[in-house]
Amino acid sequence: MLGYVFKRILLMIPTMIGISIISFVIIQLPPGDYLTSLLASMADSGQTVDATEIARMRANYGLDDPMVVQYWKWISGIILRGDFGYSFEWGRPVSELIWDRMGATLSISVAALLFVWAVSLPIGIYSAVKRHSIGDHIATLFGFLGLAIPNFILALTLMYVSYKYFDQSVGGLYSPEYVGADWSWGRVWDLLKHLWIPVIVIGTSGTAALIRILRANLTDELSKPYVVTARAKGLSEYEVIMRYPVRIALNPFVSAIGWVLPQLISGVTITAIVLNLPTAGPLLLRALISQDMYLAGSFILLMGVLTLIGMLVSDLLLALLDPRIRFT
Amino acid sequence: MNTQDTPLPLLSVRNLSIDFHLRSHVLHAVRDVSFDLHPGRTLCLVGESGSGKSVTARALLRLIDPQARVSGGTITLNSAEGPLHLDRMAANSREIRAVRGGRIGLIFQEPMSSLSPVRTIGAQIVEALLLHRKMTKAEAKAETVNLLKQVEIAQPEKMADRYTFEFSGGMRQRAMIAMALACDPDILIADEPTTALDVTTQAEIMDLIGRLQASRGMAMLMITHDLGLVAEVADDVAVMRWGKIIEQGPVDAIFHAAQHPYTKRLLAATLQLDSAPKRVPPATDSKPLLSVHGLSKYFGGHDWRGRPTYSIKAVDDVSLDLWPGENLGIVGESGSGKTTVGRMLLRIMEPTSGRILWRGAPTEQDVLQMRPPELGQFRSAVRLVFQDPFASLNPRMTVKQVIADPLVVSGALTGAALEERVGTLLEMVGLDRSAMERYPHAFSGGQRQRISIARALALDPRIIIADEATSALDVSIRAQVMDLLLDLQKRLDLSFIFIAHDISVVRYFCDRVAVMHQGRIVETGAAEQICTAPEHPYTQSLISAVPNPDPRDRRMLHRTKFIA
Amino acid sequence: MSDTHPTPTFMILPSDGEETGPAVSPLRPGQNPDAIAISGQWTLIRRRFFSNKVAVFAGIVVLLFYAIGLFAEFLAPTSPTLAQPTFTYAPPQDISLFVTGEDGTRHWEPHVKGYAMTVDPASLRRSFAIDDANVIPIGLFVEGVPYKLWGLFEMNTHLLGPLDPTQPMNLLGTDSLGRDLLSRLIFGTRISMSIGLIGVISSLIIGVTLGALSGYFGGWTDIAIQRLIEVISAMPTIPLWLGLAAAVPIAWSPLQVYFMVTLIVSLLAWTGLAREVRGRFLALRSEDFVTAAILDGSGQMRVIFRHILPSLTSHILAVVTLAIPTMIVAETALSFLGIGLKSPVISWGVLLQDAQNIRTIATAPWLLIWPSGAVVLTVLAFNFLGDGMRDAADPYAT
């Protein structure tokens, strides 16, 4: 098992490097470099900078170095000193801006993941066991709808519905009176009151996908000979299903972390923009539009790393759950 | 073994009928089936695929698919407490669950897929014990170890905590038996319990089941397609065909005084294989057509620096000769490397070392040195017939396209001549010319194998390698296909390399036989000599483990054992 | 073993005589089995697909949407860019078929009702109400705003419109500039649906090219490409799309932006396609019938094109169909966020940009309902269609 963990972590490294390269490419993509945009914005505000000063800054930031050197400076700064670069729009180091936001992104994603699991497990099992029942058809229909409605449209719709029929504003994570307040039960309750909409919005498509996967897997497993063996032992139908096929059909559930998590993080990004949640999403969009590239790149890098960690966790859990993986 | 029939049978099935409600039609899978099971006696339900024998067995425990329905009949289990009417119990009621595992145990064909892969063997047995016997967890664990010991699994304490994939096929089936017997059932149902196993393992398992049955006085219902096995173990036999029991009676009567024409045909097909070959072996004074010297194939892993970490000798130093007009058999159990040899002969797989000399061309050539054009010529002279008649024909091509493909590639024939050739080939393998416009899905397994043979013949080959070409077929079809091959050989001057696990097939078909074991050839000799007077201890154990289709001469259980 | 055999106590069961196969009772009069025997894969696939009514219906919906995109100029009642400053945020009008005259008789005259405008004196906001007295007759094939169909044919006939082109007819309401939403939606269909199609085609080209490279060169190329696929599928898509889309220069022409956005969308979507196709390809390569083809003397190209690809095409078609809605949603999302397509290009995403804040949605809910309805309906239709195609793709599966 330890060997497996080690191997799995080792395998992550090239992917990690790949993600960092992609993030760096995105930083470099916009025409010109950030100094150009800085100068432009300074010129807008009426400041002038003389040529020697520009040259000094160029050298300082290593902007004339080859790409590889620039990449190395950037990535080694992150790894060795936790230095993600400088946000020109905010005039502060990126590292001061990102952690709160990434924390919120992570929490909402995890909450959504729990929601996805809690909802899709019972429905998926029900659907597979009672195939072609009315409940199954309803679940299937819900599945198709859930997959078809894009996150942001669902967010807009829920926003409209709750505004129109419940007269409740749904943006943000807190009501205005709690935004800067200290933690209290009231604040937690307020948070939960706001959290359910983003969680449903983000979780719906994942839930729908997982129900479909669980239903398909469990249907396959239900026809396996070992299920007949379990029945032939005299176990009750409930015991047969829960101890045998469900136990194996759970695998996709665990491995779902690997592919649902990127989806959820994607979902949080766009939903947060619509619902104005204090996560990485809105800040990332703003940074991208204003070409505050170090900030944007750091977000993209961290989101990629987050999904990688999710995949690692899912692989390790899977190995715990399934001896066939653990032993090979 | 002659127990007097008790007046009241343990289990009695009367007029059982089961229908499958499929999309386009109702399949009457079981029709009006009646039989009895008596303590200490074995009833064999024998039939070819699709005869309804498995469904019948499962219906006894009410374990049939949802789309199947029992449309009539009674199943009565007689016990000390009076008769239990299994057919009247609700599908998953408490009553029927008490019978399952408690009164009737069940063993299946595929021990790998019949046990859960994610729970330990021990846990799966403990579960059955807790369910039917009043035991604490600790007692159940101790009993599990005891059971594993009874089924002769070495180190039972350790093995109880292992998973199925850590067991060999035979061990899995032993564990399965331990589970079925956990609660001292009165009746054991064994559904093709050894079909997935090698013949020596089969003999061991049947031996074990027989001893356990005798010591516990159980009744047994065994489902099988293998008449040889029936002759070895049955007391009574019921022959099923297309859902009906067409004949039943004591084993000796069935084997020596069969009444129904189908039973007779089935027996004939089985016995035919066992009869001495009428073939005259070809002269072996000339040079062999194909010679294999020191052929080896090692599979190995290596670490990231390229250093070898392990190596498996799948084929180890194999040498063979094949003379013109000869039928050479390569026989061995699973994992013996026989299929790998066949594949290497055609270079579907590259050998690690060795030489294959081909004398079918004007000059002698080493197949392993051949470049594409020569290799193509070699492959058109040496053809392969695959085991699985369903996977080896492209379902998207018509029979004409399939058979004509080698001719089209070589550019030998086109247009009307091509069509004429395909027609001739089809007739040669006993199919109608009109078959050529059809797609493979319109044909049965035996017919598809004939199409495969026609494809192999298209290029006028010298040698045909038949890799388990008949093992996927029912016994009556199997004999037909082999007779076809023998007939073609007479007409077309062919040589065969016949790869098989089934000794009786090889004995019927081949002049000489090479016996493979763990990648090596342990013995080569005339087919008759190998089958009647084997010299190598492994061959001896193999031959003696083969069931003999005569209940008056049961020899499988008196086999010689080979310890490698 | 005893020598004395028990006397045979035979129960010879009634012989089944000439029975030649398992007993079946057909549920409905059977088809001619010979017809199935000689039908090739496409016939079987078609038969299976057409027996799935939901998929067939979804297919019709998809075709309908493409038809709408194709004939947008003709189908749209007016020009999508024509602003009506006097009718901003005007609500949808209903079509009525009969007019009740002053004498109480009803006569056939399809029409919509005009607007009555009130101005809130405090906020100076205009609001519209349907004015029952103001009847605007409408008709089929009416003359209206002139256009060039596909940039080729000068025409001014519209499928549906007011008989008097100066009168307003806004069946789905108008936006902040008073532009007719129905016309904009119809033109948006053209862009959104075509992005899905072009995006999938470029995805397929990227996927097949890289897949072929990876298969042809093998070794390190294969490893590198597989790693790349892994990296890209590990990234959360939306942030990455955002990053790429934000780099599109603002100065680019709408057409350039259109192609760039399509490219960006397909840049991430090809991995799924490539993975699926690669997996099936590898599985097929080890099939017996492919080995048989190699032994029959077929060269590599012949094996691929004659034996493997025909088995793959139906699967590829299904996978591609299922990928199209992802593309459409991606474009919609990017445009919605303001970094995809931008005005004056019209796509469903661009339309939804108008529905970004709750205030607008509250005033003019139709700006949210209709474009999102179009997106959801399209995605649903594609999913049902693709599912049906996938189920039918392998007619030989048991």
| CB–CB contacts below 8 A, B to C | 139
Best to test chain A binding among C61, C225, C240 (most A CBs inside 10 Å): C240
Residue B26 contacts C, CB cutoff 8 Å: yes
Rounded alpha-carbon distances, angstroms, from residue A53 to A37, A42, A50: 15, 13, 5
Name chain A contacts of B110, Cβ cutoff 8 Å.
Answer: 225
Sign of the C-alpha dihedral, residues B433, B436, B442, B447?
Answer: positive
Mean pLDDT estimate for chain B: 86
Name chain C contacts of A163, Cβ cutoff 8 Å.
Answer: 358, 361-362
B318 and B258 in a common domain: no
Nearest-neighbour CA in chain B from C98: distance (Å) = 51
Give B94-110 pLDDT, tens digit per residue.
888 888 888 899 988 88
Name chain B contacts of C310, Cβ cutoff 8 Å.
Answer: 396
φ, ψ for residue C295 (rounded to 5)? -65, -25
Q: What is the mean pLDDT of residues A43-71?
A: 73
Helix or strand holding residue C24 (H, E): strand C24-26
- CATH architecture of structural domain C185-392: Orthogonal Bundle (1.10)
Name chain A contacts of C375, Cβ cutoff 8 Å.
Answer: 150, 153
Mean pLDDT estimate for chain C: 79
* Amino acid (one-letter) located at B173: Q
Given a cut of 50, is residue B258 above it in pLDDT?
Answer: yes
φ, ψ for residue B3 (rounded to 5)? -85, 140
Q: Residue B346 and residue C288: Cβ atoms within 8 Å?
A: no
Order of strands, sheet of C11-12, starting from the edge strand that comes earlier in the sequence: B104-107, B187-191, B219-224, B42-46, B236-241, B244-250, C11-12
Chain B neighbours, 3+ Cβ pairs < 8 A = A, C
B259 and B123 in a common domain: yes
- Which carries the bigger pLDDT value, residue B555 or residue A116? A116
Residue A222 contacts B, CB cutoff 8 Å: no
Q: What is the mean pLDDT of residues A234-238?
A: 87
Question: What's the confidence (pLDDT) of residue B182?
Answer: 86
Q: What is the mean pLDDT of residues B129-151?
A: 89
B 315-374 residues inside an 8 A Cβ radius of C: 346, 348
φ, ψ for residue B528 (rounded to 5)? -65, -40
B489 and B420 in a common domain: yes
Give C245-298 pLDDT, tens digit per residue.
877 777 788 788 888 888 888 887 788 777 777 778 878 888 889 999 988 888
Give B57-69 pLDDT, tens digit per residue.
888 888 887 788 8
Question: What's the confidence (pLDDT) of residue B41?
Answer: 92
Q: Residue C124 region, left (φ>0) first, then alpha (ψ -120 to 50), else beta?
A: left
Nearest residue of C to residue A276 by CA position? C357
Give C194-236 pLDDT, tens digit per residue.
888 888 888 888 887 887 777 777 778 888 888 888 888 777 8
Best to test chain C binding among A26, A153, A289 (most C CBs inside 10 Å): A153
Are C246 and A291 in contact by the 8 Å Cβ rule? The answer is yes
Rounded alpha-carbon distances, angstroms, from residue B370 to B365, B367, C242: 8, 5, 56
d(CA A301, CA C240): 10
Are C110 and C137 in contact by the 8 Å Cβ rule? The answer is yes
d(CA C51, CA C61): 17
**Core vs surface per residue C270-282: b (16+ CB within 10 A) or e:** bbbbbbbbbebbe
Given a cut of 50, is residue B339 above it in pLDDT?
Answer: yes
Helix or strand holding residue B188 (H, E): strand B187-191
Question: What's the confidence (pLDDT) of residue B515?
Answer: 93
Given a cut of 70, is residue B304 above it in pLDDT?
Answer: no
Question: What's the confidence (pLDDT) of residue C16?
Answer: 43
Best to test chain B binding among A227, A233, A321 (most B CBs inside 10 Å): A233
Domain that includes residue B182, residue range: 38-54+95-271
Q: What is the 3-state secondary structure (H, E, C) of C349-391?
A: HHHHHCCCCHHHHHHCCHHHHHHHHHHHHHHHHHHHHHHHHHH
Strands (E) in chain A, as ranges, are 86-87, 92-93
Q: What is the mean pLDDT of residues B38-42?
A: 91
d(CA B166, CA B122): 13
Given a cut of 70, is residue B469 above it in pLDDT?
Answer: yes
B468 and B326 in a common domain: yes
d(CA B192, CA C332): 58
Give C122-143 pLDDT, tens digit per residue.
766 677 777 777 777 777 777 8
Question: What's the confidence (pLDDT) of residue A33?
Answer: 63
Instruction: Kindly report whether the peptide bond that precedes residue A176 is cis, defined as omega within 30 degrees of 0.
Output: no
**Is residue B544 domain-resident?**
no
Q: pLDDT category, B46, cuts 50, 70, 90?
A: very high
3-class SS at C4? coil
Shortest CB distance from C296 goes to which of B26, B388, B406? B406
Per the DSSP assignment, residues forming a β-bridge with B219 are: B187
Are C57 and C49 in contact by the 8 Å Cβ rule? The answer is no
Q: What is the mean pLDDT of residues B362-376?
A: 85
d(CA A228, CA A240): 9
Are B293 and B321 in contact by the 8 Å Cβ rule? The answer is no
d(CA B385, CA B498): 10
d(CA A105, CA A99): 10
Best to test chain B binding among A131, A217, A226 (most B CBs inside 10 Å): A226
Q: Residue A26 and residue C329: Cβ atoms within 8 Å?
A: no
Q: Residue C297 and residue B27: Cβ atoms within 8 Å?
A: no
- Which carries the bigger pLDDT value, residue B366 or residue B304? B366
Given a cut of 60, is residue B118 above it in pLDDT?
Answer: yes
d(CA C388, CA C398): 16
Give me A99's structure tokens: 């952690």
pTM above 0.95, yes or no: no
Given a cut of 70, is residue C357 above it in pLDDT?
Answer: yes
Nearest-neighbour CA in chain B from C36: distance (Å) = 7
Q: What is the CATH number of the domain that holds B402?
A: 3.40.50.300
d(CA B214, CA B136): 29
Q: pLDDT category, B451, cuts 50, 70, 90?
A: very high
Residue at which a domain ends, from B214, B241, B271: B271
Nearest residue of C to residue B394 by CA position? C289
Mean pLDDT estimate for chain A: 81
Nearest residue of B to residue C14 by CA position? B246
Domain spanning A106-283, CATH class: mainly alpha
Name chain B contacts of C41, Cβ cutoff 8 Å.
Answer: 395-396
Q: What angle do CA A67, A70, A75 make, to 5 degrees?
A: 120
Q: What is the mean pLDDT of residues A145-152?
A: 86
Rounded alpha-carbon distances, angstroms, from residue B44 to B12, B187, B189, B219, C1: 15, 13, 10, 11, 18
Given a cut of 90, is residue B330 above it in pLDDT?
Answer: yes
Q: Residue B100 and residue A321: Cβ atoms within 8 Å?
A: no
Q: pLDDT category, B141, cuts 50, 70, 90?
A: very high
B301 and B210 in a common domain: no
d(CA B47, CA B31): 14
Given a cut of 80, is residue A45 above it in pLDDT?
Answer: no
Q: Residue C235 and residue A160: Cβ atoms within 8 Å?
A: no
d(CA C344, CA B277): 88
Given a cut of 90, is residue B465 above it in pLDDT?
Answer: yes
B320 and B220 in a common domain: no
Question: What's the confidence (pLDDT) of residue A216?
Answer: 86
Give B393-402 pLDDT, tens digit per residue.
988 888 999 9
B 402-441 residues inside an 8 A Cβ radius of C: 405-406, 409-410, 437-439, 441
Furthest C-alpha separation in chain A? 88
Question: What's the confidence (pLDDT) of residue B274?
Answer: 67
Q: What is the ipTM of this complex?
A: 0.81
Question: What's the confidence (pLDDT) of residue B33?
Answer: 92
- Which carries the bigger pLDDT value, residue A258 or residue B464? B464
B263 and B363 in a common domain: no
Nearest residue of B to residue C313 by CA position? B396
Closest to C355 in 3D by CA, of B394, B449, A226, A160 = A160
Give C5-53 pLDDT, tens digit per residue.
333 333 333 344 445 566 666 655 555 556 667 777 788 888 888 888 8
Pairing of the two strands B236-241 and B42-46 = parallel
Q: Where along chain C do its domains lie?
A: 93-167, 185-392
Question: What's the confidence (pLDDT) of residue B341?
Answer: 92
Q: Residue C337 and residue A164: Cβ atoms within 8 Å?
A: no
Question: What's the confidence (pLDDT) of residue C17?
Answer: 45
Count up the domains in chain B and report the number: 2
Residue C310 contacts B, CB cutoff 8 Å: yes
Nearest residue of A to residue B65 by CA position? A223
Of the candidate ranges A137-141, B6-10, B229-233, C299-303, the one whose mean pLDDT is the lowest: B6-10
Q: pLDDT category, B557, cuts 50, 70, 90?
A: low
pLDDT > 70 in chain A, percent: 89
Question: What's the confidence (pLDDT) of residue C8?
Answer: 32
Q: pLDDT category, B7, cuts 50, 70, 90?
A: low
